[in-house]
Structure 1
Amino acid sequence: MNNWLNPFIEQRADPFILLHEDRYYFIASVPEYDRLELRCSATLEALPHATPAVVWRKPEHGPMSKLIWAPELHHVNGKWYIYFAAAHTQDLDKLNMFQHRMFVLECADADPLTGKWIEKGQIKTQFDSFCLDATTFSHQDKQWYLWAQKDPNIPGNSNIYLAEMETPWSIKGEPVMLSKPEFEWECRGFMVNEGPAVITHGERLFVSYSASATDENYCIGLLWIDLAANPTKVEHWHKSPQPVFITSYENKQYGPGHNSFTRTKEGEDVLVYHARNYTEIEGDPLYDPNRHTRLKKIIWDEDGMPVFGIPPADYP
């Protein structure tokens, strides 16, 4: 059994852990929302003690100058990429929404902690609207872009979209909407589908995502599709009518969500997520710094479906 520290890394929300070759890389939102930090270690257990390296800081002005959210690190075609959301203002604008768009950095050096990062600009999609939480993955010999965005014609804050990538910083073809907030548990506080993450097992590809407001209502939902099916056909996708990972009042773990997936060196699948250990939040939950990174193994049932279980209590 892995008795990981819980919290695993404090005050790091929207956590992403990449196992690349034999090294673990960690990136997440920092409470100041002003920079991108990477840390690296040979083992998963050593990540909390690894020294963070600041690889990019937001400029004073411009489209990437405010609220740097939910970065992810990926290795595509021999180069490193960081995908992150940024805004030009902290104001909620006339639509009462944040004004984030998705941006990309590229590094061609071997070590992303010490290498040179180049700004590749904004990823343009079908709408010029609030978007965030992009990830990328390889499937059926294609590279895919998966993200959350506001459709001006659909109620709510964000839906989940998928598109094939032309380059690591651009998409091609017509994006397809995989999910929108429709169940009661996706619409508590805010109508939200965001933070998609990809994992495969057996003959299926799974997409987890987060729903509702970022307080104790925050939770994780699940989509899946057969590996051989065409992912651009919405009818091939399935959606769980119930959340798969929710607040545990018994264990004092509130609002588990915005997850990624990694693996142990032994091949066990690990859920990486954030949660708070209290509910008394003053002001906007986004500015409460104590969404801590946490880890939990997931298992697979006899039908090949993931079992997320219950968020474990703080340990030790």
Structure 2
Amino acid sequence: MTTHWPNPFIEQRADPFILRYEQHYYFIASVPAYDRLELRRASSLLDLRRAEPVVVWRKPESGPFSELIWAPELHRIDNQWVIYFAAAPTRDIKDGLFQHRMYALVCDDADPLTGSWQAPRRVFSQFDSFALDATHFVHQGKNWYLWAQKDPAIPGNSNLYLAELLNPWTLKGTPVMLSRPEYEWECAGFSVNEGPAVIKHGARLFVTYSASATDENYCMGLLSIDDEQDPLNPANWHKSARPVFTSNWDNHQYGPGHNCFTQDERGNDVLVYHARNYTEIEGDPLWDPNRHTRLKNFRWRDDGTPDFGVPPADYTSVP
């Protein structure tokens, strides 16, 4: 088991997502220019560092998804490859928010790196508002879509919503809100719940998410629900009153978040996230490219909850 992953794992890749599918690992993330979707593939987790990026889609010059391509994720849904991402028509900020909406790219070919990707389809939700960070998971035999969005009636930037999927780009039924920013650590700089990620352990389903502004205040929260309970009943979800993964000044790791989960080749759970190694950001943090992808093994407590520990210091070689 690798316990000391190179840190950073992949430089200048924020919002990282790793999919383990059959005999390969796939990596996708936001690129600093926010202008394209890249995929990497390797037969081992460590080899993703050296895998050649393949551009599978570039943004058009104009139109509804022509700016700020954010937070892509690659999923395998009912024998189709799907990339979820958020994009805006311009870089303009209106009413304090960017103008992102959610989109799905679909590929029916066997190989997502060489296959033909269909034109982006917008994923419509209950609001026509700022929306991003969609993820997919299978639970109770159903496909689920989990994302962050602004409710015009609720102060703040974004809340977390859940809906069943009819197909990869169409929601089924009425979405429900699972969480909104309410604690001080969720409202530092901006009131944000975003970047949800799902992991199952024992008889529970866990959702991590990221909160606050994308500087050193960025941190991770945790929701959980018993396996058998109805996920569309918000009352069934439990929310941690404290963050579960935060900046660490001793290790010079700041703003850890926008995570996902994968497993190494031996089946050990691995936390995938981004963080910076400094706090002095010139200008808008959005355009600072040094949110690097990082990996960390973590353990499960006796009560069945995840213990993510603290973000480890930069360490560029594997012992």
**TM-score tier after normalising by the smaller chain length:** over 0.9
Equivalent residue number for residue 166 of structure 1: 166
Equivalent residue number for residue 229 of structure 1: 229
SS at match of 2:119: strand
- The answer on whether the counterparts of 1:149 and 1:159 sit within 8 Å (CA) in structure 2 is yes
In structure 2, how many angstroms separate the alpha carbons of the residues matched to 1:98 and 1:254? 24
Q: How many residues align?
A: 315
Equivalent residue number for residue 121 of structure 1: 121
**Letter in structure 1 aligned against 2:90:** T
SS at match of 1:119: coil
Q: Is 2:178 aligned against 1:178? A: yes
**Letter in structure 2 aligned against 1:308:** F
Return the offset for 1:191.
0.2
In structure 2, how many angstroms separate the alpha carbons of the residues matched to 1:121 and 1:175? 19
Q: Is 2:289 aligned against 1:279? A: no
- The answer on whether the counterparts of 1:120 and 1:169 sit within 8 Å (CA) in structure 2 is no
**Letter in structure 1 aligned against 2:194:** E
Q: Is 2:134 aligned against 1:134? A: yes
Q: Is 2:114 aligned against 1:89? A: no
Give CA deviations for 1:49-84 in whole Å, capped at 9, x if unaligned: 000000000000100100000000000111100000
Return the offset for 1:22.
1.4
Equivalent residue number for residue 199 of structure 2: 199
In structure 1, how many angstroms separate the alpha carbons of the residues matched to 2:122 and 2:298? 34
CA RMSD of aligned residues (A): 0.6
SS at match of 1:14: strand
Give CA deviations for 1:215-273 in whole Å, capped at 9, x if unaligned: 00000000000010000001100000000000000000000000000001111110000
What stretches of structure 2 of length at least 5 have no aligned partner? none
Q: Is 2:80 aligned against 1:62? A: no
SS at match of 2:46: coil
SS at match of 1:235: helix
1:36-55 maps to which residues of 2 (within 5 A)? 36-55=37-56
In structure 2, how many angstroms separate the alpha carbons of the residues matched to 1:241 and 1:248? 19
Q: Matched residues, percent identical?
A: 67
Return the offset for 1:3.
2.1
Return the offset for 1:212.
0.1
SS at match of 1:118: coil
- The answer on whether the counterparts of 1:212 and 1:218 sit within 8 Å (CA) in structure 2 is yes
**Letter in structure 2 aligned against 1:133:** D
Equivalent residue number for residue 78 of structure 1: 79
Return the offset for 1:119.
1.9
Q: What TM-score, normalized to structure 2? A: 0.98
- The answer on whether the counterparts of 1:208 and 1:222 sit within 8 Å (CA) in structure 2 is yes
**Letter in structure 2 aligned against 1:310:** V
User: Which 10-residue stretch deviates more, 103-112 or 24-33?
Assistant: 103-112
In structure 2, how many angstroms separate the alpha carbons of the residues matched to 1:164 and 1:120? 20
- The answer on whether the counterparts of 1:18 and 1:24 sit within 8 Å (CA) in structure 2 is yes
In structure 1, how many angstroms separate the alpha carbons of the residues matched to 2:168 and 2:3? 35
Return the offset for 1:120.
4.2
Q: What TM-score, normalized to structure 1? A: 0.99
Give CA deviations for 1:5-57 in whole Å, capped at 9, x if unaligned: 10000000000000001100000000000000000000000001000000000
